[in-house]
């Protein structure tokens, strides 16, 4: 469920560290107080990561209540951005990279090439 970026209208990552002991109310308060965003917008996924970077929590308002999603990796770590303490919107492609263990901000992207004609 968490890996499918198509079901979310927007995705925000809370850069830096978040205390994952927070539940729904605590994470909603982080969204409001620290990032000046509205956690009650339907279809917007807010993602948080702790210091260990092997688990993330997601907060999603579904219109009738919050959904709290928790993912723990059995091996490896998420390449979570730690440089700023703000929420940044990411593209569905960047979200997919993160869930696959890649960095959200890639240095370069491989460009499509035209096939070489040998005839």
| Structural domain includes residue 115 | no
Q: Which pLDDT does position 103 carry in this prediction? A: 81
User: Which structural domain range is residue 52 located in?
Assistant: 6-99
Contacts of 18 (CB under 8 A, 6+ apart): 27, 30, 48, 49, 50, 57
Residues of the chain with pLDDT > 90, as a percent, come to 42
| Structural domain includes residue 39 | yes
Neighbours of 63 (CB within 10 A): 7
Q: 50-103, pLDDT tens digit by residue?
A: 899 899 999 999 999 999 999 988 888 888 887 766 678 888 888 888 888 888
CA-nearest of 36, 12, 25, 26 to 87 is 12
Q: Which residues pair with 73 in a beta bridge?
A: none
Number of domains in the chain: 1
């Amino acid at each position: 469920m968490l890996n499918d970026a198509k079901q979310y209208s927007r995705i925000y990552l809370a850069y830096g560290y978040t205390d994952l002991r927070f539940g729904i109310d605590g994470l909603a308060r982080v969204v409001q107080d620290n990032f000046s965003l509205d956690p009650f917008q339907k279809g917007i996924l807010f993602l948080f990561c702790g210091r260990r970077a092997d688990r993330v929590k997601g907060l999603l308002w579904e219109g009738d209540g919050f959904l709290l999603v928790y993912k723990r990796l059995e091996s490896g770590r998420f390449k979570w951005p730690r440089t700023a303490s703000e929420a940044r919107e990411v593209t569905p492609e960047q979200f997919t990279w993160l869930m696959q263990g890649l960095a959200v901000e890639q240095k370069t992207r491989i460009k499509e090439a035209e096939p070489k004609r040998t005839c």
